[in-house]
């Protein structure tokens, strides 16, 4: 075991890491308060050189496992609470995931789902490790070298570019929904049009949407990048793989990055189609509830989440949303049952929706 001593330095750079390799060292000793640059950390992890924080005579201290300080990245994140494994970032599996993330980033940009440096993508590669896109890079231009590895608290543990500031949104989903392995956040215009009006699209219009997305939730607005924003999705991520973010965009989770992007495509196309249909001057016809149950059965077989699988919800609620006033936009939760039976407002809404449906059928609306 050979060590290189850099405890006399306040800043440890890539050159120090390279020198350690050149001298055949497998440990680099640095002082407690040293700032180790992200590229130095990266290089050390890549070449299996252990960073020993705490200096001479303390080479085996657990400090060696410390995550980089937030100061090293300037991202204001808190130090990690549990051990994380930076080496996961350089495994063959990670290389495949990085390429997939870049390909999906390009897809998002080509489909106009992201603009400027907007949108972000992540993949949970370990119990406490998530690969994610960096901040301030267009999703069209992404390369594997741009990506970062963070722990579940948002501390960057590998990668040279600072991670996206919206990672906390993804991390809340990973922590709350163990089935989620990948998240895609983007701003597709037609779905975002719903998000800025506080409305969700109705159900039972197009089968693919029922099976892959189903009921869409909408989370309240909060300032992007804050933990309050990240937590807005928590009530929905168990039963919804796609959430509209009020006045912002959408987030989708799935077992793979590719599938999470599919859900964004399915939702965006659905919202777009509904908006086009609304201009044709004819009422939208709905799939029957009987046929809708068939679609839900398919969905269950595919292992996809849906709030309608909860039989207590199903019992009194309609599968469809025919009972609401607008054929293309619903008030969130409008068709969901509340305990204790229908309220006066519910009955009023029902009377209004029946009237509207009749008027719509007569072509007078």
* Residue 329: CB minimum distance to Zn ion, A: 22
Cβ nearer to Zn ion, comparing 159 with 249: 249
Q: Is 121 exposed, middle or buried (0-12, 13-18, 19+ CB in 10 A)?
A: buried
Contact (CB, 8 A) for 3 and 52: yes
Residue number, 188 or 249, with CB nearest to Zn ion: 249
For Zn ion, the closer of residues 249 and 332 by Cβ is 249
- Which member of 100, 129, 166, 261 is catalytic? 166
Site size for Zn ion (CB under 5 A): 1
Q: Which is nearer to Zn ion, 4 or 195 (by Cβ)?
A: 195
Stretch 201-240: interaction string toward Zn ion, x if CB under 5 A? ----------------------------------------
Which stretch, 148-156, 192-200, 226-234, 241-249, contacts Zn ion (CB under 5 A)? 241-249
Q: At closest approach, how far in Å is the CB of 251 from Zn ion?
A: 9
- Please, which of residues 244-273 interact with Zn ion by CB under 5 A? 249
The yes-or-no answer on residue 210 being catalytic is no
Question: Given the complex with Zn ion, which of 68 and 188 has the nearer CB atom?
Answer: 188
CA–CA separation, 250 and 254 (whole Å): 14
- The Cα-based distances of 89 to 130, 285, 316 in angstroms read 9, 49, 48
Residue nearest to Zn ion (CB): 249
Which of 51, 59, 18 minimizes the C-alpha distance to 35?
A: 51
> Of 4 and 101, which CB lies nearer to Zn ion in the complex structure?
101
CB of 118 to Zn ion, least distance (A): 5
Query: Which residues, numbered 120-139, are part of the site for Zn ion (CB under 5 A)?
Result: none
User: Smallest distance, Å, CB 226 to Zn ion?
Assistant: 12
Residue 185 CB, nearest distance to Zn ion (Å)? 6
Shortest distance in whole angstroms from residue 318 CB to Zn ion: 33
Contacts with Zn ion, residue ranges (CB under 5 A): 249
Catalytic residues: 166
């Amino acid at each position: 075991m050979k060590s290189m001593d850099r405890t006399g330095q306040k800043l440890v750079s890539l050159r120090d890491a390279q020198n350690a390799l050149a001298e055949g060292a497998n440990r680099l000793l640095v002082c407690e308060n040293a700032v180790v640059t992200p590229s130095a950390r990266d290089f050390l992890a890549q070449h299996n050189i252990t960073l020993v924080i705490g200096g001479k005579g303390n080479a085996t201290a657990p400090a060696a496992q410390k995550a980089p300080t937030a100061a090293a990245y300037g991202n204001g994140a808190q130090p990690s609470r549990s051990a994380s494994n930076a080496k996961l970032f350089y495994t063959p599996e990670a290389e495949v995931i990085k390429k997939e993330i870049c390909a999906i980033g390009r897809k998002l940009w080509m489909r106009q789902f992201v603009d400027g440096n907007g949108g972000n993508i992540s993949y949970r590669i370990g119990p406490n490790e998530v690969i994610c896109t960096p901040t301030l890079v267009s999703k069209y231009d992404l390369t594997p070298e741009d990506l970062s590895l963070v722990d579940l608290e948002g501390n960057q543990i590998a990668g040279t570019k600072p991670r996206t500031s919206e990672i906390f949104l993804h991390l809340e989903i990973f922590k709350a929904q163990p089935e989620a392995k990948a998240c895609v956040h983007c701003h597709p215009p037609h779905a975002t049009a719903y998000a800025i009006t506080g409305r969700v699209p109705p159900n039972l219009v197009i089968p693919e949407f029922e099976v892959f997305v189903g009921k869409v939730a909408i989370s309240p607005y909060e300032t992007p990048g804050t933990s309050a924003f990240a937590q807005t999705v928590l009530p929905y991520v168990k039963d919804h793989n796609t959430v509209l973010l009020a006045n912002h965009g959408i987030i989708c989770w799935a077992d793979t990055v590719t599938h999470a992007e599919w859900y964004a495509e399915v939702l965006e196309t659905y919202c777009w189609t509904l908006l086009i249909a609304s201009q044709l001057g004819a009422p939208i016809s709905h799939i029957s509830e009987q046929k809708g149950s068939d679609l839900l059965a398919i969905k269950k077989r595919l292992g996809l989440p849906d709030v309608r699988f909860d039989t207590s919800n199903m019992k009194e609620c309609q599968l469809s949303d025919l009972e609401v006033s607008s054929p293309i936009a619903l008030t969130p939760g409008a068709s969901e049952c509340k305990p204790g039976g229908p309220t006066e407002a519910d009955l009023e809404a029902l009377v209004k929706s029946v009237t509207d449906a009749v008027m719509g059928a007569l072509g007078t609306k």
